[in-house]
């Protein structure tokens, strides 16, 4: 497919630029630099700033499209059928903070999105850009949240979706994507096999947008909206500390990009912030690299219950190290047992039932506090990026009824629970 720029409206986006060598190419379905093979990202010439930008945002809809002036999407995006994620709650976590000894803690709870994970944000932006670039089909390889988000967004947009999953995926997880009625291809292979197949198909099918492959630079920008929403919810202020789970690492680097943009555009004061990354020990290549003081990431073979974070060779790994080191944060990892404890702790204290990725983040928060890396007096935001309903197996052996009784008042009183 040839990128056709004339007549294409991608808002303030003006080019794709290489994150390694800085070379620029025109906006289109490219994702690797033709000069150095480095990854591309969206570059902008923002048209609004300061009070004018803030007013435009605050007059916008209660979803991510209020930030359209900061995204690579058409100006009419809010009126085009899409999944319209965002405007999720920033919950003041007083109980959890008290339990951990944190004075000022918030949970950004992205389980409130349409398919209950932050993937709705990145898919919505990918869909908007892909449609503008002339793509006809929305596709992805995925084992979970991304598959749900692509199938749902495409359904609502009235276009075809093609989702590739491993054929040995649990039936429950197959149903959550199959429900939307798109094309669902089960592949006899592991995620690496499927990913490779997706790359091959993307090269063949000119009008298929694989959200996390050939339109990845647009897709990734969707995570910036997490930073925008947190800052706006706090009354246009950047929190002092943020803890973010790491899969590819893209979410973490884009939240940093979002904060940086807001400060540069005069929407928030340019106050210092520290970004912390969270991984499960069973897939902790970035944490290992951080602790070893390396600026590269050695791939690992994932073995953790936190499957939505189980990327052994994270594309944004080195950039995560850059961000964490630049801001004075850290990367930490926790065992699967700690992950489950994290899920239970968040549910018990705040009534938020998180996916395993959320358990990773809460457990890492606790560990960072225990080791003195996190300041307990600084305003802190942690991200819950998914929903516990999708990873029920993680707690299946850990929780259950307090008591089982006959249906009588005597039986109840005999439990001592009255």
- Is position 353 an interface residue for a copy of itself (rule: CB under 8 A)? yes
CA angle 80-86-92, nearest 5°? 165
Task: List the structure tokens of 242.
Answer: 């943020």
- Is position 136 an interface residue for a copy of itself (rule: CB under 8 A)? no
Q: Among 49, 237, 348, 373, indicate the residue that binds a copy of itself (CB under 8 A).
A: 348
- Is position 416 an interface residue for a copy of itself (rule: CB under 8 A)? no
Cα end-to-end span (Å), the chain? 68
Inter-residue contact 361 to 382 (CB < 8 Å): yes
- Helix or strand holding residue 18 (H, E): strand 13-18
Binding letters toward a copy of itself, positions 205-224, x by CB under 8 A:
x-------------------
Nearer to a copy of itself, 321 or 394 (CB): 394
Q: What is the DSSP letter of 182?
A: S
Nearer to a copy of itself, 235 or 401 (CB): 401
Nearer to a copy of itself, 117 or 250 (CB): 117
Q: Among 10, 68, 115, 222, indicate the residue that binds a copy of itself (CB under 8 A).
A: 115
- Is position 201 an interface residue for a copy of itself (rule: CB under 8 A)? yes
- Diameter over CA atoms, the chain: 78
Q: Among 154, 286, 324, 330, indicate the residue that binds a copy of itself (CB under 8 A).
A: 154
98 conformational bin, left if phi > 0, alpha if psi -120 to 50, beta if neither: alpha
Which residues ranging from 60 to 89 are in contact with a copy of itself (CB under 8 A)? 62, 81, 83-84, 87, 89
Inter-helix orientation angle 171-178/145-157, to 10°? 20
- Is position 388 an interface residue for a copy of itself (rule: CB under 8 A)? yes
- Is position 281 an interface residue for a copy of itself (rule: CB under 8 A)? no
- Give bridge partners of residue 280 from the DSSP assignment: 283, 334
Which residues ranging from 161 to 180 are in contact with a copy of itself (CB under 8 A)? 162, 165, 167, 171-172, 174-176, 178-180
The upper half-sphere exposure of residue 323, i.e. CA atoms within 13 Å in the direction of its Cβ, equals: 29
- Is position 200 an interface residue for a copy of itself (rule: CB under 8 A)? yes
Binding letters toward a copy of itself, positions 364-383, x by CB under 8 A:
--------------------
Nearer to a copy of itself, 70 or 347 (CB): 347
Number of shown-chain residues binding a copy of itself (CB under 8 A): 79
Q: What is the DSSP letter of 284?
A: -
Neighbours of 249 (CB within 10 A): 27
Inter-residue contact 161 to 130 (CB < 8 Å): no
């Amino acid at each position: 497919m040839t990128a056709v720029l004339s007549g294409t409206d991608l808002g303030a986006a003006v080019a794709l630029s290489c994150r390694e060598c800085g070379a620029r190419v025109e906006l289109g379905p490219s994702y690797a630099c033709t000069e150095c093979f480095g990854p591309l990202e969206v570059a902008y010439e923002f048209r609004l700033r300061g009070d004018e930008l803030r007013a435009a945002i605050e007059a916008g809809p209660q979803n991510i499209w209020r930030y359209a002036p900061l995204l690579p999407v058409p100006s009419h995006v809010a009126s085009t059928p899409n999944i319209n994620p965002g405007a999720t709650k920033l919950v003041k976590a007083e109980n959890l903070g008290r339990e951990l000894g944190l004075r000022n803690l918030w949970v950004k709870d992205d389980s409130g999105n349409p398919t209950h994970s932050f993937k709705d944000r990145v898919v919505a932006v990918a869909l908007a850009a892909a449609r503008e670039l002339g793509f006809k089909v929305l596709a992805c390889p995925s084992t979970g949240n991304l598959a749900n988000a692509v199938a749902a967004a495409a359904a609502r947009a009235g276009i075809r979706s093609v989702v590739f999953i491993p054929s040995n995926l649990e039936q429950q997880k197959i149903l959550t994507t199959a429900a939307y009625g798109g094309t669902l291809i089960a592949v006899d292979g592991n995620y690496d096999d499927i990913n490779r197949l997706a790359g091959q198909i993307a090269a063949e099918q000119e009008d298929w947008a694989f959200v996390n492959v050939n339109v990845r630079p647009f897709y990734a920008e969707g995570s910036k909206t997490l930073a925008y929403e947190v800052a706006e919810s706090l009354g246009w202020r950047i929190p002092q500390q943020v803890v973010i789970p790491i899969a590819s690492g893209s979410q973490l680097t884009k939240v940093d990009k979002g904060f940086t943009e807001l400060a540069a555009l005069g929407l928030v004061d340019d106050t210092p912030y520290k970004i912390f990354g969270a991984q499960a020990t069973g897939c902790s290549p970035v944490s290992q690299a951080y602790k070893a003081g390396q600026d590269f990431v050695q791939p690992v073979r994932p073995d953790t219950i936190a499957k939505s974070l189980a990327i052994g060779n994270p594309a944004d790994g080195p950039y995560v190290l850059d961000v964490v080191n630049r801001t004075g944060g850290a990367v930490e990892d926790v065992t699967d047992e700690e992950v489950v404890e994290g899920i239970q702790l968040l549910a018990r204290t705040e009534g938020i039932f998180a996916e395993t990725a959320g358990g990773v983040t809460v457990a890492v928060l606790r560990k960072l506090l225990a080791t003195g890396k996190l300041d307990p007096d600084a305003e802190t935001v942690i991200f819950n990026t998914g929903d516990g309903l999708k990873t029920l197996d993680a707690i299946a052996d850990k929780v259950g009824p307090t008591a089982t009784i006959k249906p009588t008042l005597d039986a109840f009183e005999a439990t001592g629970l009255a």
